[in-house]
């Protein structure tokens, strides 16, 4: 059996400000986010972890570096698990984006969505799902890997692991610094848990709303 922990980055400055960061650089962890990452470190302290993989964006790398500190694991980055390229939407306030007609498609028919001058949701999830399959294939039996990524990426990976349509991915909620666990046996995924939060809810000053995250 192979174990994959999917960890969303801790609260970032973009989360605090209600900004859709996408792949833009520079959005680091907030002070609360650093505390959340420390809580992740305590969660994983007594768990056997063989490898750790992070999205190359700074908010994920900072989360990963804190969370695996003190563990003898190699941390590498992979663009397979980078946030979606939201194109012209990147860096915009979510409160503004929710008023655009495309927002309804993102919530109800994401498989049809192509962000202006950005990626399609189908291509985003294709690369992430292929990346996960490649990670699982490279793992030894009874090994464990942490993947530090983003809300929509993790939601898509969980949706695919359930065998559900991409259009169902907004039915999954993934909070900052949350942990979701998938085990693979004979290459078949089984979801063990989703959206386990190790920090108190009062610490999560995130703009994320159930069914509404694309950040």
In-domain check, residue 213: no
CATH code where residue 54 lies: 3.40.50.1240
Closest CA to 90 of 132, 150, 34: 150
Q: What's the domain count of the chain?
A: 1
What pLDDT sits at residue 213?
Answer: 53
In-domain check, residue 137: yes
Q: Please give the backbone phi and psi of residue 155, each rounded to the nearest 5 degrees, phi first.
A: -60, -40
Q: pLDDT, tens digit, for every residue of 84-128?
A: 999 999 999 999 999 999 999 999 999 999 999 999 999 999 999
What pLDDT sits at residue 206?
Answer: 44
Contacts of residue 161, Cβ cutoff 8 Å, sequence gap at least 6: 182, 189, 190, 191
In-domain check, residue 208: no
What pLDDT sits at residue 187?
Answer: 85
Residue 215 has pLDDT above 80, yes or no: no
In-domain check, residue 210: no
In terms of residue numbers, what domain contains 43? Answer: 2-203
What pLDDT sits at residue 129?
Answer: 97
In-domain check, residue 108: yes
Residue 177 has pLDDT above 50, yes or no: yes
Torsion of CA 122, 140, 39, 128, to 10 degrees: -10
Q: pLDDT, tens digit, for every residue of 31-49?
A: 999 999 999 999 999 999 9
In-domain check, residue 97: yes
What pLDDT sits at residue 204?
Answer: 46
pLDDT band at 149 (very low <50, low <70, confident <90, very high): very high
What pLDDT sits at residue 103?
Answer: 95
In-domain check, residue 49: yes
In-domain check, residue 215: no
List C-alpha distances in Å: 47 to 3, 58, 71.
Answer: 11, 25, 10
Residue 188 has pLDDT above 90, yes or no: yes
Q: Which two tokens stand for residue 166?
A: 């991409």
Mean pLDDT, the chain, integer: 92
List C-alpha distances in Å: 106 to 98, 150, 178.
Answer: 10, 16, 22
Question: Please, what is the end-to-end C-alpha distance for the chain in angstroms?
Answer: 31
Q: For tokens 């305590």, what's the residue?
A: 42
Residue 161 has pLDDT above 80, yes or no: yes
Angle between helices 151-161 and 121-138 (to 10 degrees): 70
């Amino acid at each position: 059996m192979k174990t994959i922990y999917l960890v969303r980055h801790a609260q970032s400055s973009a989360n605090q400000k209600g900004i859709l960061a996408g792949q833009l650089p520079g959005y680091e962890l907030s002070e609360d986010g650093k505390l959340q990452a420390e809580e992740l470190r305590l969660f994983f302290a007594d768990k056997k972890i063989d490898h750790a993989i992070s999205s190359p964006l700074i908010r994920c790398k900072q989360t990963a570096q804190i969370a695996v500190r003190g563990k003898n694991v190699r941390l590498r980055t992979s663009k397979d698990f980078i946030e979606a390229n939201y194109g012209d939407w990147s860096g915009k306030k979510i409160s503004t984006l929710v008023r655009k007609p495309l927002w309804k498609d993102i919530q109800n028919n994401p498989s049809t969505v192509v962000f202006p001058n950005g990626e399609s949701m189908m291509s985003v999830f294709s690369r992430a799902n292929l990346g996960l399959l490649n990670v699982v294939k490279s793992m030894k039996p009874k090994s464990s890997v942490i993947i530090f990524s983003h809300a929509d990426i993790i939601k898509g990976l969980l949706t695919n692991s359930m065998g559900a349509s991409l259009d169902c991915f907004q039915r999954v909620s993934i909070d900052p610094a949350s942990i979701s666990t998938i085990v693979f046996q004979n290459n078949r995924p089984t979801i063990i848990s989703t959206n386990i939060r190790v920090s108190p809810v009062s610490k999560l000053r995130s703009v994320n709303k159930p069914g509404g995250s694309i950040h």
